[in-house]
């Protein structure tokens, strides 16, 4: 297949490598000429995937039109805050039947829309050729060909199955589902909980506290996802529990790392400046709280993270309030 990967950060570069190893013709769109030149000349992206040799078959370009020309499928892997702009440009350049797969794990902060909903708006209201890829997957480990399992969701089962066949390999196993809502919300909202898990670690709390956050975090993610049309089995699967555990406990988690910095006393600006990579949970926290408000769903962890991130609430105070909430049945 001819594939375009839109976004040359760690996850975009790792997915481009995976797809090239599957034998596809892969064009990788990046914003920075320096990154494109490095990928094409040295088959590396040292800033985002240090120590990884990328397949020679990846062609990087800063020209979006060139990247999507003739592509049968495009994979969107840019931070959520840029998705609408990129999808709008993509829609004007790509063939109408080109499939768009969102691999962005976030929500549009201003509208609280899922990225597939943003794509549908920018593609004339149709979701016939839109899918979502998510699951527990650190980019560096995918690039190293560490065995990984993900899930691809599409309203059309035939589309999901065709993507499953195209993306899967010995080290990259893809499952299918039609639950786009559950997969997308699980992938986005786990980042909010991961910031909280990082904060409690930065504060010096132990495994008990992180385990409690994961468990109660899954409960509030599931409440919201089910209220918005997701399915319970999705939230107990790869895109829900699997990704939540990985992101809350793994040392490669950028959202957990940001939370740890906050727990140790750094400001949000200082924590964000420490890495070139975007911690999606920061902006997704706002969208999560907005969706919860609209649906009448209680999300206490997300609400405390909003207070800590945007209202100057001391992280220790936010954690204390979670522990001191009124007692209730599980």
Pairing status of strand 73-76 against strand 99-102: parallel
Q: Which residues pair with 305 in a beta bridge?
A: none
Distance CA 25, CA 27 (A): 7
Distance CA 36, CA 264 (A): 36
Count each helix (H run) and each strand (E run) in the chain, helices first: 16, 8
Contacts of residue 82, defined as CB under 8 A and 6 or more positions apart, other chains included, come to: none
Contact 54, 13 (CB under 8 A): yes
User: Considering only CA atoms, which of 67, 131, 54, 115 is closest in space to residue 93?
Assistant: 67
Contact 225, 181 (CB under 8 A): yes
214, 220, 221, 222 alpha-carbon torsion, rounded to 10° = 110
User: Considering only CA atoms, which of 45, 47, 118, 48 is closest in space to residue 80?
Assistant: 118
Active site residue 190: yes
In 3-state terms, what secondary structure has residue 101? strand
DSSP output for 127-144 = -TTEEEEESS--HHHHHT
Handedness of CA 272, 100, 141, 211 (dihedral sign): positive
Query: Which of these is catalytic: 2, 190, 313, 328?
Result: 190
Which residues belong to the active site? 190
């Amino acid at each position: 297949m001819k594939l375009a990967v839109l976004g040359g950060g760690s996850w975009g570069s790792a997915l481009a490598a995976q797809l090239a190893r599957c034998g596809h013709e892969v064009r990788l769109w990046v914003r920075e000429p320096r990154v494109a030149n490095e990928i094409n000349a040295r088959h590396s992206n040292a800033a985002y995937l240090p120590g990884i040799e990328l397949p020679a078959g990846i062609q990087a370009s800063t020209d979006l039109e060139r990247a999507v020309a003739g592509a049968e499928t495009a994979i969107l892997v840019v931070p959520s805050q840029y998705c609408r702009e990129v999808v709008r440009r993509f829609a004007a350049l790509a063939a109408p039947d080109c499939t768009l797969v969102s691999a962005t794990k976030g929500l549009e902060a201003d509208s609280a829309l899922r990225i597939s909903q943003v794509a549908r708006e920018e593609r004339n209201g149709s979701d016939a050729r839109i899918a979502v890829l998510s699951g527990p997957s650190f980019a560096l480990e995918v690039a190293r060909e560490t065995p990984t399992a993900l899930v691809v969701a599409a309203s059309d089962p035939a589309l999901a199955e065709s993507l499953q066949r195209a993306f899967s390999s010995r080290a990259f196993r893809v499952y299918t589902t039609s639950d786009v809502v559950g997969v997308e919300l699980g992938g986005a909202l786990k980042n909010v909980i991961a910031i909280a898990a990082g904060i409690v670690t930065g504060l010096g709390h132990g495994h008990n506290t992180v385990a409690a956050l994961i468990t109660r975090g899954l409960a509030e993610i599931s409440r919201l996802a089910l209220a918005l049309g997701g399915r319970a089995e999705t939230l107990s699967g790869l895109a829900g529990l699997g990704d939540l555990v990985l992101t809350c406990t793994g040392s490669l988690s950028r959202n957990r790392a940001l939370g740890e910095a906050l727990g140790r006393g750094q400001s949000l600006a200082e924590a964000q400046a420490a890495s070139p990579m975007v911690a999606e949970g920061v902006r997704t926290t706002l969208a999560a709280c907005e969706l919860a408000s609209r649906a009448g769903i209680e999300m206490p962890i997300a609400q405390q993270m909003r207070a800590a991130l945007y209202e100057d609430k001391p992280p220790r105070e936010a954690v204390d309030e979670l522990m001191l909430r009124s007692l209730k049945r599980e």
